[in-house]
Structures are given as C-alpha cells and as structure tokens.
Amino acid sequence: MKIGKRSSKKEKRAMSVSLYANLLFVVVELVMAMVTGSQAVLLDGVYDGVEFLMLLPSVFLIPLLYQPSNEKYPFGHMQMETVFIVVKGIIMLSVTVGLIFNSIRTLITGGHSIDFGMVAWFELFAAVLGIAVTLYLVRKNKNMNSPLIAVEMQGWKIDSMLSLGMTVAFFLPMLVRFDWMDKISPYLDSILTIVLSMIMLPEPIRTVFSGIRDLLLISPEEETVEEIKAIVEPIIKESKCTEIYYDILRTGRKLWISAYITLNKDELSVRSFKNYQTRCIAALSEKYSDFYFELLPEIEPDVDDLKEIESKVLEAQFAESDVNEG
C-alpha cells in the first residue's frame, strides 16, 4: 500500500527556487574570485557551479519519480534518484579534494595577497542569502521529506557555513593589527580554503556511501530499521505470533517494508490479519511519508498434517516401486 504521495509541483517549485538562487551565486562568486584572486571564493563558486549543473537534471527528474511502479519497474523509478544523488556526491567530493590540493600548492609557492575587505563584505552578503534559501527549503520540505531537497539543504547549509567562516577570517586582518598578521596574510586565503574544505568533506562522503547502500539493496542504517520495528512490533505482537522477520529496503526516497510473521495454524482470521496491517500502515505514516508496507504470514504446518503427508509420499513411492518390479 502506498502512503503519502506528495505533489511533484511543490517539490519542483522548491527545487527551481534553489536552482535560480544557485545560478545567481555562481555568477557573482566567479566574478568576485576573478576580481580578488581569492581561492576561498573560487572554492565557493566552483562548489555552487557543480550544484547548479546537478540541479538542472534533478528538476526534470522529479515528475518521473511520481510515476507508479509497474511490471517493468517494480520499484518505480526511485533508483534513478539514488543514482543521481551518488553521482552528485562523487562530483562534490572530487571538487573539494581538488581544491585542497590546489590550495596546498599555493601555500608551497608563497601564497598570494587579496583585498580582504571586499571579500569579507561579499561573503557576509552570501551567508545571509544562503541562510535565507536554507530556511525556505527547510519549510518547504517539512511535509514532503524529499531526498533531493534534503541534499539541496545540505549544500546550502555548507555554503552558508563556508561564507560565515570566510567573513570572520577576512575581517580578522582588518580588525587585528599585529606584525605577525602581516606575515601570515598572504597564506590566510589558502589556509582558510583547506580548513573549510576539510570541514565540508564528510557530507559528500556520507551521501555517496548511503546511496551505494541503497543501490546494492542493503537494508538502511540500523537506526531506521530499529525505528520501524519499534513502530510496528507492538501492533503485530497482538496477533500472538511466534516469530517476526523483517525485510526492509530503501530506493531513493521510498522505504519498502515487509514483515513476515509465523503463526500457529488457524489462529488468525483474514479480517484480523488485514486489521493489523492497516494499523501498522497508519502508525508508520505518522513517521514516514513515502513507503510500501506488507504483512505476510508464514504458517507453521500442523505436526499431524506433516506425518500424513510423509505417509502418503511413502505409499506413493512403494506403489511406484511395485509397478516397476512387476
């Protein structure tokens, strides 16, 4: 049973706002990087440039994600979303690592001087705008729980942190008047780029590894699995089942949950069974917005029935043996 199908138009609108804001950031940051020669601003611009290039296809991908599953695509098109997120994570990781090595090379060659005042005021403006876009996406995604929007939120959060860090760092040489500050000023931009890049690295790494788990159809992280069990198990145990086995997968934004219960023979009516399944779905829908849940029985055969079946099999074998001998 499908639960919580969201409007693709709302999701597409939110992603479009992020797209246009990203385009504005890319143009302004790359121009500012050329004017000031700042590696840190270039990091910000390149990061946003990659975000923009990856956002373009994601906007067109959204309507496809809402198409129902069929015989050809039993899991729908959700895997495409996971592939997209993994590719995006790999690109972001590559860009971040590349800028770290570039900044190290700049440090080794003696650093470079930049206009700290111009960069500081620009980054303050960028931080305020980034926080505004982040808050907008948080509000829009509150009821949608879209992985695509969630990834965008992560990108804007990182971008805002990056801009705030650069604002503080580039205001510092103007506020602190010491001889040693003049000596490290040519290296400040490169040092800041390396530090901020190292802070940013864990996010794309987590994104890539989480996406690969989903593509390989490995069960989600233990926290999610235990959370699902905690929701449905109290309901299922009312059926007096002897054992519960879970099969939980995630493809993109959607969870696929199967609960297999072992019952004694003739202990649960079809109506009661359906009631337990409906209650589980209702409980899960309070926490998750897009999932498929099914409750399946594994009925233990009666011992007497097993003996009768074995007896009939043996009789059939003896009868066949007699015919062959005759």
Fold identical between 2-215 and 222-306? no
Quick one: which of 47, 62, 54 has its CA closest to 19?
54
pLDDT tens for 33-84 read 888 877 778 777 877 787 787 777 766 766 776 676 667 776 667 777 788 8
Taking domain 2-215, whether its CATH number is 3.90.870.10 is answered by no
Query: pTM of whole model > 0.85?
Result: no
pLDDT tens for 225-258 read 999 999 999 998 888 887 888 999 888 778 889 9
Task: Find residue 3's DSSP bridge partners.
Answer: 291
pLDDT of residue 3: 40
pLDDT class of 32 with cuts at 50, 70, 90: confident
84-88, 191-195, 307-311: least confidently modelled range: 307-311
Domain ranges of the chain: 2-215, 222-306
pLDDT tens for 251-267 read 877 888 999 988 766 66
pLDDT of residue 156: 84
Q: For domain 222-306, which CATH number applies: 3.30.70.1350, 3.10.20.90, 3.40.1160.10, 3.40.50.1100?
A: 3.30.70.1350
> CA-CA distance, 243 to 250, in Å (whole number)?
23
Q: Is the CB of residue 276 less than 8 Å from the CB of residue 239?
A: yes
> CA-CA distance, 98 to 86, in Å (whole number)?
18
Q: Is the CB of residue 14 less than 8 Å from the CB of residue 62?
A: no
Task: Find residue 291's DSSP bridge partners.
Answer: 3, 255
3 secondary structure, DSSP code: E
CA angle 85, 90, 93 (to 5 degrees): 120
For residue 123, pLDDT beyond 50: yes
> CA-CA distance, 46 to 189, in Å (whole number)?
16
Task: Find residue 204's DSSP bridge partners.
Answer: none
